[in-house]
A and B are shown apart, each in its own frame.
Chain A
Amino acid sequence: MSGSSPACSQVRPLWPPLVAGLVLGLVLILTFVLVGNGVGASGTFASIAAWLGLQVAPAVTQSNGYLGPMVANGANPFASWIVVEVIGVAIGALLAAVSAGRFKIKVDVGAGKIGVIPRLLLALVGGLLAGLGSRFAAGCTSGVGLSGTAMLGMAGFIFLIVFFVVGLAVSALMRRVW
């Protein structure tokens, strides 16, 4: 499409969106049948936050209204299906990227409208907003948006509509970045 791709590229093409969507849908059904719930991601970062809190400030973490129950009575915050799921996501993504010749260590600044340091700061701020939001919504694009909507759940539809509307609006302010 861009016309500047080398003819003898080692990079394999991406799957067409409808093929990727079809396979993703089948994976989702399999997950509902075998694991009993849909896929997810953000819960893992809550586990990491709880573990980190326990290392840095155990008393504060244990008495915290949100993190406390995750580490009550010596519970291991990592003993959860979603942590194992995200380890799987990492392995699967690595396998795909390496096998398709798309693995490349870099700071992804898109087409390079911004430098490396601003990009990393934006990634940090974006992550902070997403992490905060994921605890309000009790899930993220995967857990609520994808899995919740597949169950025709109210939360899934509300999530996707608000996610797209706000994303479009904020994206309009980010034209100097991407």
Chain B
Amino acid sequence: MDYGVAGTALASGILFGYVLEQAGFGSPCKLTAQFRLTDWSVFKVMFTAILVASLGILLLQSGNYFGSTGFFVPTTFFWATAVGAALIGAGFAVGGYCPGTSVVGFMSGRIDGLVFMLGMVLGILVFASIFNAPITQSILHTAQISAKTIPQWLGVSPWIVWGAMVVMAIAGFWLGRMMEQRSHGVLTADDIVESIDPTLDSAKQGSAVDGNLGEGSVPLVRGV
């Protein structure tokens, strides 16, 4: 790794972390609200970023920017990707973060973000200890998919795939907006800092959030 690569990786990382925090993705409550379907920010941010980035990459490719061979797209093994995604999805729902956003959570002051990061190191050590097991090796190396990209797999122009993704995004944004309005669940900057869940009755939470990290915000159960 030369200094040029290090410098650009650092700059790219700073921008990436800055945007994630500005989107509110340091908050495990906002992140998991996507899976409760009350705040669709994760879907909206990710899908918009994917549409913008894939458009840019398609334009650069058609201008032959990356050369005739294009750029490196890794070979996909179905089960490795599916098992990994399932574990990361479960870890996200349980722990409130994914790997990148746990860094953002920790750097905005959340101790639980640091603990999630420690958990990841443990999880990777578990992976290392089961790496040579036959089950691990067969998950990692079977069901190789010969097509590297969706357009190759479907045998259509990448522009058709991109257009289909735009249609999916618009449908998702519309559905998300409807569900957000019904649940009143979009977490604002104040909500994520003061630990307020807007889907709960705000009158009951009111004074409960200061002092004890919001412990008392379920007053009916604990009789506070």
Q: Give chain A's interface residues, CB within 8 Å of chain B.
A: 1-6, 9, 11-15, 17-18, 20-42, 45-46, 48-49, 52-53, 64-67, 79-82, 84-97, 100-113, 115-116, 119-120, 122-142, 144-146, 148-155, 157-168, 170-171, 173-174, 178
Contacts and interface: CB of A to CB of B under 8 A. Distances in A.
Given A88-B10, A136-B80, A140-B88, A21 B108 contact: no
5 contacts: A14-B192, A17-B23, A102-B193, A134-B99, A150-B50
Given A14-B23, A152-B161, A88 B14 contact: yes
B89 A170 contact: yes
A123 B209 contact: no
B175 interface: no
A142 B99 contact: yes
Interface residues of B, number: 144
Contact of B26 (A12, A93, A140): A93
A150 B90 contact: no
B151 A152 contact: yes
B4 to A, nearest CB: 9
**Leading 4 A-B pairs by shortest Cβ distance:** A126-B95, A88-B13, A127-B119, A137-B84
Contacts of A89: 13-14, 16-17, 20, 100, 103-104
A20 B19 contact: yes
A104 B14 CA distance: 20
Interface in B165-187: 184, 186-187
A107 to B, nearest CB: 5
Interface in B94-108: 94-108
Contacts of A167: 34-35, 89-90, 92-93
Contacts of A53: 125, 128
A41 B103 contact: yes
A107 B112 contact: yes
Interface-centre pick from B10, B91, B116 (highest chain A CB count, 10 A): B91
